[in-house]
Structure 1
Amino acid sequence: MPDQNSTLRAQRRAETQRMIQAHALRLFTERGYDATTVTDVAEAAGVSPMTVYRHFPTKEDLVLFDQNGRLVAERIAASSAVHPLVRRIGIALIDSAAALTGGGHADDLTANRRFLLARLRLMISTPALRAKHLDNHYALQQAIVDALGDDATDPEDAFRARAAASACLAALHTALVRWAEDDGRTELPEVIAKALAAAFGDDIVGTGPDR
């Protein structure tokens, strides 16, 4: 069936991307970002440089590429419009972080959490990645606005949505830096919730099935 074949291709593509990215993060961590070439990554992953570039158009993408934008957008699109924008966006950021880190106890980091920690450390310590990260910030902001759909079609509504998204993403960035500095010993969703509460008040992130 065409749909099944399409799904299998997407799964294989995602597996190849994750494999290449894992080797890239390991080499960047061991040798340094600037000292590692795309050819080095290709050799470690057992693929050609062309294959690496097919999945990651730039060297920076080997670190910055993730699924967070898609996860956040899906959760915002499914959220209730009765809640304030910052609450809808904040909860989506928390829930997507929970999905990316895979849960678990703080003293037993999962592979997903170690993977995310490696990416964050590189983004924080590498000037070229910090600059490129700003592009990702704008892309995620736009993904959030797009996910709000009819709630952000009017120019004024879109402006408010961008402002809310930008403020929430600033809190997210602060939380990610804190989590990386703490070596992932705390739960990332909890750190994000704490950062959002500091910015918007303790009641901005609710609990329960209707949140």
Structure 2
Amino acid sequence: MKRFSFLGALALSLTILLSACGASNTVKGGGIGAGAGGALGAGIGAIIGGGKGAAWGAGIGAVVGGSAGAIIGNKMDKQKKELEAINGAQVESINDGQAIKVTFESGILFATNSSTLNTASQSALSSFASSLISNPDTDVSIYGHTDNTGNDAINNPLSEKRAQAVYSFLASKGVKGSRMQSQGFGSTQPVADNSTSQGRAQNRRVEVYILPNEKMIQDAQQGK
């Protein structure tokens, strides 16, 4: 398992890139390159607070031109459509179409206070692994989260174990460990109100970010 640290400065530089809502990843990818030079930060981007828990940054340390950005967006569009067919996975584009976020609720993945994958989630993750293997030019970041029930001594290791369980399962299905990393954030990145049962259920989740790797960037710059 790989670990990583926060890169707070990246968020500001990427804020100007988040526009063109409703456009396809291909169009939005081209807009990144043409409008802002497509500067994507090195390393995984900062986790933005404010109760949103959104991860920013593409971890590729490269500059993407307009046409190259469109190529990357097109590739991400195709994989996003594959992933949308997986039961129990919420799939969305991030970074203006140059990356994909997949959210698995803990009710799909785990029993309460457990880091053992249930049978239904193993089926979903097997399909997820197949998509990752058929799209090898990406990196994968896995984030575990909990609600605020209990304390950090419980929530932090539980979130890490859940992220690691997903990492280990994907690796067992043939996804290379060298392209994956995982981390748990405990209850520090809620996406909903922890004062309600519905909100706590949303906060118990695993998020997976699919990011273009250096090879994809280089191929796109060469028009491939």
TM-score, with structure 1 as normaliser: 0.34
The higher-RCO structure (CA 8 Å, 6+ apart) is 2
Indicate the structure with greater strand content.
2
Structure with bigger gyration radius: 1
Indicate the structure with greater helix content.
1
TM-score, with structure 2 as normaliser: 0.33
